[in-house]
Amino acid sequence: MATLSSPASSSTLSRLNHANTSNNSNTSIVQNGTATPMLASSGASQDSNQAELKMATDAKGPHGQSGHKDSKQKYAVSRDTKSMDYVARTMVAGGIAGITAKTAIAPLDRVKILFQVSNPQYEKYAGTWTGVFKAARDISKTGGVRGLFQGNSATILRIFPYAAIKFMAYEQYRSFLMPTRRDETSFRKLVAGSMAGVTSVFLTYPLDLIRVRLAYESKATPYMTLVNKIYNEPAGRQRPASVAWLPELKLSNFYRGFLCSVAGMIPYAGVSFFTHDVMQQLCREHIPWTLKQNQSRGLPDKNGDYARPELKTSAELACGGVAGALSQTASYPLEVVRRKMQVAGALDPKVFVGMRETARQLYMTKGPRGFFVGLSIGYLKVTPMMAISFTVYERMKKLLAID
């Protein structure tokens, strides 16, 4: 009797009685075919349904959200693109990509500038594929290897903030115009790239002008000496009659050719970013051998988008190279006009020459071909530069966990 009075035995008897009741009810259903004995099994089903409902409710939590501990891990962790941490990381990645690419092609960059501005000592080599090598040979004879990198220090000072701002601005404009992949369109990619280019040019243009003037000088000139020379050029004291009330704008000497630069940057940056994105998408969707092997798809983000597969380094270089070649072709005539305007201060420091007048003079003296002087060097320079820049940027994004 003591055994029967224990809690465990009572529980056992209860389960046995419940089982017998269920068996009897089931037997009645088969034998009699009446609906009355179904009440027991119906009650059991209701209890089961209520239990399942309670479990589902507990799983969702008090506000209908999932209450499982691992529910938050169903989505990939993504950074807030508006946070200062994300902005800083993208600027570091872009800046490193920029100076790496520019340093790699610095000798070609200097020869191209000498051709564009029609430097008397090197103009005879312009227009031929071998001219770049002959000009580089002459430069190295007079200035050694350092002569090929003349102006590169100014380039680095300019390109780090320029590339940092450009890539950061592109990511910001891209996240604003295309918050999800379903919002991506060709036009929006083009607009995002163009706006990023204009933003970076506006903030770093004086550094670019100083770099061009350093490259134009036949002899090495101290950086601050040239800055002071540009600042005190008489052209900055002149003002059109419509704005004669303005004070002397000596800083305007650092913005010679700025509007032309903006006009050229819209197709240059827009086409480069757009083409790079399109080429990457083409490789991922239609050329599987360009993808790195054994990549995990991972988890989707809150928008349902999975991480993009990573391309091989060779494929990244190819995508960047194509982007550089097309963007250079689209913007080169305006770049030639801009270079002419930038060095105008060295030729005649007393006056400003506008974009239209510069283009007219160039056409009158050299014809249509004058707008494409040095384009072959441009391809030799920009194609590897953009290839290296985009590839380093993509790798830096992975390294800094901002992809």
pLDDT > 90? residue 376:
no
What is the rounded distance in angstroms from the CA atom of residue 357 to the CA atom of residue 331? 19
Q: How much is the pLDDT for 238?
A: 60
Is 195 domain-assigned?
yes
Residue 373 has pLDDT above 90, yes or no: no
Residue 13 has pLDDT above 60, yes or no: no
Distance CA 340, CA 374 (A): 13
Is the Cβ–Cβ distance between 261 and 280 less than 8 Å? no
In a domain, 31, yes or no: no
Give me the pLDDT at residue 214, please.
80
* Sequence-separated (6 or more) residues with CB below 8 Å from residue 133: none
Q: Tens digits of per-residue pLDDT, 90-99?
A: 999 999 999 9
Q: Cα separation of 316 and 398, whole Å? A: 14
pLDDT, greater one: 28 or 373? 373
DSSP structural state of residue 248: P
Q: Which two tokens stand for residue 255?
A: 């913005």
Residue range 325-371, pLDDT digits in tens: 999 998 999 888 888 887 776 666 677 677 888 889 889 988 888 88
Q: What is the CATH number for 271? A: 1.50.40.10
- In this predicted structure, the answer to whether residue 22 has a pLDDT above a threshold of 50 is no
Q: Is residue 177 predicted with pLDDT exceeding 90?
A: yes
Residue 298: left (phi > 0), alpha (psi -120 to 50), or beta? left
Average pLDDT over residues 226-231: 85
Which of 144-158, 190-204, 299-313, 357-371 is most confident?
190-204
pLDDT tens digits along 246-283 = 455 667 778 877 887 888 888 999 999 999 999 999 99
Residue 66 placed within a domain = no
Per the model's pLDDT, the better-predicted residue between 315 and 124 turns out to be 315
Residue 51 inside a domain? The answer is: no
Q: Cβ-count burial of 54 within 10 angstroms (0-12 exposed, 13-18 middle, 19+ buried)?
A: exposed
Q: How confident is the model at residue 30 (pLDDT cuts 50, 70, 90)?
A: very low
CB 208 within 8 A of CB 162: yes
Question: Per-residue confidence at 133, pLDDT binned at 50, 70, 90?
Answer: confident
Return d(Cα 328, Cα 319) in angstroms, integer: 14
Is the separation of the CB atoms in 75 and 299 below 8 Å?
yes
pLDDT at position 77: 56
Give just the sign of the alpha carbon dihedral 317, 198, 169, 192.
negative
Q: What pLDDT is attached to residue 357?
A: 85
Nearest to 332 by CA among 367, 382, 276, 275: 382
Q: Is 70 exceeded by the pLDDT of residue 169?
A: yes
The mean pLDDT of the chain is 76
Instruction: Establish if 145 belongs to a structural domain.
Output: yes
Q: In Å, what is the CA distance from 207 to each residue of 4, 232, 350?
A: 95, 16, 21
Average pLDDT over residues 307-328: 92
By CB atoms closer than 10 A (0-12, 13-18, 19+), residue 393 is buried
Dist CA 298 CA 306 (whole Å): 7
Locate tokens 């680095």: which residue?
156
Examine residue 16 and state whether it is found in any structural domain, yes or no.
Answer: no
Q: Are 214 and 207 in contact (CB under 8 A)?
A: no
Residue 71 covered by a domain: no
Task: Report which of 215, 210, 203 is spatially closest to residue 262, judged by C-alpha positions.
Answer: 203
Lowest mean pLDDT segment, chosen from 24-33, 128-137, 146-155: 24-33
Position 320 scores a pLDDT of 95
The count of structural domains within the chain is: 1
Q: Are 208 and 158 a contacting pair, CB within 8 Å?
A: yes
The residue among 119 and 315 whose pLDDT is bigger is 315
CA–CA gap between residue 113 and residue 139 (Å, rounded): 13
Q: Which domain holds residue 140?
A: 84-291+310-399
Higher pLDDT, 293 or 171: 171
pLDDT at 60 over 60: no
Q: Considering the domain boundaries, does residue 226 fall inside one?
A: yes
Token pair, residue 337, equals 């006009």
pLDDT at 322: 95
* 3-state secondary structure (DSSP) of residue 311: strand
